[in-house]
């Protein structure tokens, strides 16, 4: 049977082959089908200028595709343990994405980048270039954190968030440099400077704002002109033993003594309390009632102004002459201010101490020998600067 070479120039439409062979391969079957073959084998080139619909598997050693390709199913390159390089070029010279099978890495080269809009889960990432993060960054989840380490340019210097210790740590030459007023503790800015803090080095226990005391000895007091207590007395116990410098308040009537205090500026200008130290003149164990009231005067104020409300404390005689007694700490004493209002910095505060022997509840029968009183006040600063 003679063979005929069929070219495009010889055909106007479809080529219908209903049997025969091409290069010893069977073509078609008993029924003619235009352009449809069971098996087509070519020993040289096969040039198809129209569409080719191939339903089975196509094994191609090399493919050069000049047009668009639409792939509607899964594409697998290589097999497990034997892969192949796959390269995607960009519009910029030397920009490409490469799956490097020998390195088991996806490489972005040149100007190529990775732009991810959704979530990206990465087990290990090694980034050699600059990273720009424009959104919130969270490490770990609540109750399960991760260590985060930032290295410096000096060997051994780094900043570490240690999740197991719940601490931010510095190591080597790493430091935390904070601008003044930008460190907040409990919402309050730390305004001191490093130089000021360094002055505290070796200072030992630092003075803090809080409750303070002032001791006012009887020797610093004076009897009032009207209804005053006795003048300052000195009671000898035994020769060359402590002697009692005291003011005596008798058991028959209310008697008074006064003193003055200029509180430090660190005083919070609030209420005060007091505690009286005294010694009985006899062994009686009845109750003695003592009280204190105050008045604050600023520059130019008239001292001829009534004291504030008195606060009293009751203390029973201890039963032994020359024993030293201390009352309980009193309730809050409000210091009045001339013209109303409250005390101010640099005020002088006048106080009046008394024994209210005229009160029927004061049953101590001897003289109350006042040794002095302790004033308690509160500060809101460590010093008067």
Does 90 lie in the same domain as 40?
no
Range from 10-24, 34-48, 249-263 that averages highest in pLDDT = 249-263
> Is 293 a domain residue?
yes
> Is 287 a domain residue?
yes
pLDDT classification of 42: cutoffs 50, 70, 90: low
Read off the pLDDT of each residue in 307-331 and give the average, rounded to a whole number: 98
Q: What is the pLDDT of residue 133?
A: 83
Name the least confident of 47-56, 228-237, 249-258, 299-308: 47-56
How many angstroms separate the first and last alpha carbons of the chain?
123
> Which tens digit of pLDDT belongs to each residue from 178-203?
887 778 888 888 888 887 777 777 76
> Which tens digit of pLDDT belongs to each residue from 92-104?
999 999 999 998 8
Q: Taking the complete model, does pTM exceed 0.85, yes or no? A: no
* Residues spanned by the domain of 163: 144-195
Read off the pLDDT of each residue in 63-78 and give the average, rounded to a whole number: 86
Does 187 lie in the same domain as 217?
no
Beta-carbon count within 10 A of 255 CB: 24
Read off the pLDDT of each residue in 324-333 and give the average, rounded to a whole number: 98
> Is 170 a domain residue?
yes
Does 239 lie in the same domain as 181?
no
CB 348 within 8 A of CB 233: no
Does 98 lie in the same domain as 183?
no
Does 297 lie in the same domain as 243?
yes
Name the least confident of 45-54, 223-232, 237-246, 285-294: 45-54
Does 188 lie in the same domain as 281?
no
Read off the pLDDT of each residue in 260-289 and give the average, rounded to a whole number: 98
Overall domain count for the chain: 4
Does 38 lie in the same domain as 156?
no
Last residue of a domain, one of 111, 132, 157: 111
pLDDT classification of 41: cutoffs 50, 70, 90: low
> Is 384 a domain residue?
no
> Is 62 a domain residue?
no
Read off the pLDDT of each residue in 308-330 and give the average, rounded to a whole number: 98
Q: Is the pLDDT of residue 322 over 80?
A: yes
> Is 105 a domain residue?
yes
More confident residue, 89 or 198: 89
CA–CA gap between residue 94 and residue 193 (Å, rounded): 54
> Is 138 a domain residue?
no
More confident residue, 202 or 235: 235
> Is 292 a domain residue?
yes
Does 155 lie in the same domain as 49?
no
Does 231 lie in the same domain as 374?
yes
Does 323 lie in the same domain as 246?
yes
Q: Is the pLDDT of residue 26 over 60?
A: no
CA–CA gap between residue 102 and residue 76 (Å, rounded): 17
Q: What is the pLDDT of residue 184?
A: 84
Read off the pLDDT of each residue in 286-304 and give the average, rounded to a whole number: 98
Site of tokens 């960054």: 137
Q: What is the pLDDT of residue 31?
A: 45
Site of tokens 């409250």: 342
Q: Is the pLDDT of residue 70 over 50?
A: yes
- What would the two tokens of residue 99 be? 């799956």
296's enclosing H/E stretch is strand 287-297
Does 345 lie in the same domain as 260?
yes
CB 273 within 8 A of CB 319: no
- What would the two tokens of residue 369 be? 């020998």
SS3 221: coil
pLDDT classification of 9: cutoffs 50, 70, 90: very low
CA 57, distance to chain mean position in Å, is 65
More confident residue, 109 or 224: 224
Site of tokens 């919402």: 187
Q: What is the mean pLDDT of the chain?
A: 86
Largest Cα–Cα distance of the chain, in whole Å? 158
C-alpha separations of 19 from 15, 72, 376 in Å: 12, 34, 122
- What would the two tokens of residue 192 be? 């001191």
More confident residue, 239 or 190: 239
354-376: burial string, b at 16+ Cβ within 10 Å, e else: bbbbeeeebbbbbbbbbbbbbbb
Percent of the chain with pLDDT over 90: 59
Does 84 lie in the same domain as 43?
no
């Amino acid at each position: 049977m003679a063979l005929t070479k069929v070219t495009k120039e010889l055909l106007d439409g479809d080529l219908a082959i209903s049997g025969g062979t091409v290069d010893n391969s069977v073509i078609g079957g008993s029924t003619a089908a235009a352009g449809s073959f069971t098996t087509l084998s070519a020993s040289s080139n096969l040039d198809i200028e129209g569409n080719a619909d191939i339903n089975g598997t196509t094994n191609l050693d090399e493919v050069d595709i000049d047009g668009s390709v639409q792939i509607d199913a899964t594409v697998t390159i290589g097999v497990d343990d034997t892969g192949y390089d796959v390269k995607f070029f960009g519009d910029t010279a030397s920009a490409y994405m490469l799956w490097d099978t020998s390195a088991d890495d996806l490489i972005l080269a040149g100007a190529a980048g990775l732009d991810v809009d959704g979530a990206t889960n990465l087990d290990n990432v090694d980034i050699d270039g600059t990273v720009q993060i424009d959104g919130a960054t969270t490490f770990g989840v609540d109750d399960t954190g991760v260590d985060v380490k930032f290295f410096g340019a000096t060997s051994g210097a780094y900043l570490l968030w240690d999740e197991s210790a719940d601490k931010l740590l510095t190591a080597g030459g790493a430091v935390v440099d904070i601008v003044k007023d930008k460190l907040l503790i409990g919402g309050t800015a730390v305004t001191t400077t490093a130089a000021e803090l360094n002055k505290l080095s070796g200072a030992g226990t630092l003075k803090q704002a809080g409750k303070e005391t002032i001791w006012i000895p009887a020797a610093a007091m004076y009897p009032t002109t009207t209804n005053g207590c006795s003048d300052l007395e000195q009671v000898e116990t035994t020769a060359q033993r402590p002697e009692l410098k005291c003011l005596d308040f008798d058991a028959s009537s209310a008697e008074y003594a006064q003193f003055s205090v200029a509180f430090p500026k660190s005083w919070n200008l609030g209420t005060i309390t007091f505690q009286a130290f005294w010694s009985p003149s006899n062994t009686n164990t009845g109750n003695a009632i003592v009280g204190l009231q105050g008045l604050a005067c600023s520059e130019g104020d008239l001292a001829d102004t009534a004291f504030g409300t008195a606060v009293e404390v009751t203390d029973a005689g201890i039963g032994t002459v020359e024993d030293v007694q201390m009352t309980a700490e009193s309730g809050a004493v409000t210091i009045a201010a001339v013209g109303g209002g409250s005390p101010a910095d640099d005020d002088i505060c006048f106080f009046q101490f008394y024994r209210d022997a005229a009160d029927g509840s004061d049953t101590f029968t001897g003289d109350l020998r006042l040794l002095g009183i302790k004033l308690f006040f509160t500060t809101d600063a460590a010093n008067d600067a």
